């Protein structure tokens, strides 16, 4: 069996990271079998090297090896590409065509970005994995194929399964053996090694001296997050090799080529929020609730004052201002919240010295905010001949809020 170092040299793999070595060793051990393999890892970590190792160390090495980027093929043609089609199966099918599973019979197919496959195609692929059978598009004849499938994805497959975007049974068929490649930010000792290799390659390609990093520049490079992993490092090395006249790169120079100056500081993973984010949201909610409480307290005081006033115009104006204050900005106070607070106001008022005075007030001057609001909206609509835009402007609220209130109160 070929040594680990020999495999690295043969397939151009740079690095001595333990996790990387374990992934390659796993690929070497599984290669002689026909077990399906799923290669996982972030975009740009070099997942395409693993299926090549598996194929060239297997008994299928003299047969075809086909790499298919599932995410680059349109959904309408993916079935035809993989399984072939019969003449006349669809518009433009002027001749019978063999698919990759027929062409690669006896060999290996590498399905890159397998998580992007449509659900209908996943069903067809599951059948191939289970019994080696497939049907061309537009045909009813079952065909057999003997291929080994190695798939790769940068998606979190368990999340994709939970969201209904990937079949659970297909995932377990593909991932009989799972090989994970670490991101570049976890391979600190390999970063400078990779940069030197890329810089040397580009120096030969463009026929110019090799760029070299200062000690400070190396430290900055090793502490950069590299969201694009090896692919991003390669692009940075190429850009510096072409652009920089001075072949000795300082830390200051290097920083110009690092987008956002990313670091290895902790980040949000898989959309999960940190405890700080939740604390901030909680503080915002508390502030909103306290503001609403202050509005209610103002409402209580205003209600008592207005009940003692015989000036109906003043009553309407003050209620108008109050409604503007409560409903002008989101989040708005719901009808249910209004009802609860009005009940509380009534209970508090019954215990006050002004309750006896309140009993003599006409029914039209009800304490209900909702009734006052309905009355004001109706009057404003009448004054503006039913024109909602003008009525909303007069009330000092948005048209959207007015439309919602009209619908809510069935006006």
Considering the domain delimited by 4-182, tell me its CATH architecture: 3-Layer(aba) Sandwich (3.40)
CB atoms < 10 A from the CB of 91, how many?
A: 6
Residues β-bridged to residue 215:
none
Residue-level pLDDT at 400:
77
This prediction has a pTM of 0.63
Evaluate whether 177 touches 38 at the Cβ level (below 8 Å): yes
Pairing mode, if any, of strands 65-69 and 108-112? parallel
Q: How far is CA 120 from the centre of its chain?
A: 23
The pLDDT profile of the chain, 411 residues, written as one tens digit per residue, is: 678 999 999 999 999 999 999 999 999 999 999 999 999 999 999 999 999 999 999 999 999 999 999 999 998 899 999 999 999 888 888 899 999 999 999 999 999 999 999 999 999 999 999 999 999 999 999 999 999 999 999 999 999 999 999 999 999 999 999 999 999 999 999 999 999 999 999 999 999 999 999 999 999 999 999 999 999 999 999 999 999 999 999 999 999 999 875 455 444 444 444 444 444 455 555 556 656 666 676 666 666 666 655 455 555 566 566 656 555 544 444 444 444 444 444 454 445 444 444 444 444 444 456 777 788 888 888 888 888 888 888 877 887 788 777 877 777
Q: Which residues have CB under 8 Å from 52's CB, separation 6+?
A: 11, 65, 110
- Domain assignments of the chain as residue spans, ordered by start: 4-182, 185-261, 292-409
Burial classification of residue 391, based on how many CB atoms lie within 10 Å of its CB (0-12 exposed, 13-18 middle, 19 or more buried) = buried
Residue-level pLDDT at 313:
58
Same topology for domains 4-182 and 185-261, yes or no? Answer: no
d(CA 99, CA 143): 11
Evaluate whether 315 touches 304 at the Cβ level (below 8 Å): no
Evaluate whether 54 touches 31 at the Cβ level (below 8 Å): yes
Residue-level pLDDT at 362:
43
d(CA 162, CA 112): 21
Tell me which residue of 44, 9, 48, 8 sits closest to 25, measured CA to CA.
8
Pairing mode, if any, of strands 108-112 and 212-213? unpaired
SS3 182: coil
The dihedral through the CA atoms of 57, 58, 59, 64 has a sign that is negative
Residue-level pLDDT at 265:
47
CB atoms < 10 A from the CB of 356, how many?
A: 8
Evaluate whether 52 touches 8 at the Cβ level (below 8 Å): no
Q: Which residues have CB under 8 Å from 41's CB, separation 6+?
A: 47, 152, 154, 180, 181, 182, 183
Q: Which residue has tokens 């430290």?
A: 219
SS3 244: coil
For 20-84, give the DSSP string.
HHHHHHHHHHHTTS---EEEE--TTS-TTHHHHHHHHTSTTTTS-EEEEEGGGS-TTTHHHHHH-
Q: List phi, psi (to 5°) of 117.
A: -65, 140
Residue-level pLDDT at 182:
96
Considering the domain delimited by 185-261, tell me its CATH architecture: Orthogonal Bundle (1.10)
């Amino acid at each position: 069996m070929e040594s680990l170092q020999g495999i690295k040299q043969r397939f151009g793999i740079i690095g001595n990271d333990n996790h990387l070595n374990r992934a390659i060793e796993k690929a070497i051990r599984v290669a002689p079998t026909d077990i399906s393999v799923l290669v996982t890892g972030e975009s740009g970590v070099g997942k395409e090297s693993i299926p090549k190792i598996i194929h060239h160390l297997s008994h299928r090495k003299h047969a075809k090896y086909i790499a298919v980027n599932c995410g680059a093929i349109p959904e309408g043609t993916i079935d035809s590409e993989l399984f072939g089609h019969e003449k006349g199966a669809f518009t433009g099918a002027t001749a019978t065509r063999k698919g990759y599973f027929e062409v690669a019979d006896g060999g290996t197919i590498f399905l890159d970005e397998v998580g992007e496959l449509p659900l209908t195609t996943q069903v067809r692929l599951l059948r191939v994995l289970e019994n080696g059978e497939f049907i061309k598009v537009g045909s009813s004849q079952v065909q057999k194929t003997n291929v080994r499938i190695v798939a790769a994805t940068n998606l979190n497959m368990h999340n994709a399964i939970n969201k209904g975007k990937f079949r659970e049974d297909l995932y377990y068929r593909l991932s009989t053996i799972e090989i994970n490649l670490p991101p570049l930010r976890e391979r600190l000792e390999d970063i400078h090694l990779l940069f030197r290799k890329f810089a040397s390659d580009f120096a030969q390609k463009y026929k110019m001296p090799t760029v070299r990093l200062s000690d400070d520049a190396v430290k900055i490079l090793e502490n950069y997050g590299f969201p694009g992993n090896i692919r991003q490092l390669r692009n940075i090395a190429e850009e510096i090799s072409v652009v920089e006249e001075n072949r000795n790169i300082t830390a200051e120079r290097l920083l110009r080529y690092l987008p956002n100056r990313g670091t290895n500081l902790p980040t949000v993973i898989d959309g999960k929020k940190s405890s700080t984010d939740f604390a901030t949201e909680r503080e915002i909610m508390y502030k909103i609730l306290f503001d609403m409480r202050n509005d209610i307290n103002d409402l209580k005081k205003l209600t008592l004052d207005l009940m003692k006033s015989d000036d109906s115009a003043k009553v309407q104006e003050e209620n108008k201002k109050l409604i503007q204050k409560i409903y002008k900005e989101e989040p708005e106070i719901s009808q249910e919240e209004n009802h609860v607070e009005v009940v509380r106001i009534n209970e508090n008022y019954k215990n006050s010295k002004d309750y006896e005075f309140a009993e003599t007030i006409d029914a039209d001057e009800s304490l209900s905010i909702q009734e006052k609001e309905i009355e004001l909206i109706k009057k404003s609509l009448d004054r503006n001949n039913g024109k909602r835009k003008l009525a909303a402007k007069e009330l000092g609220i948005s048209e959207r809020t007015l439309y919602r209130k009209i619908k809510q109160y069935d006006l």
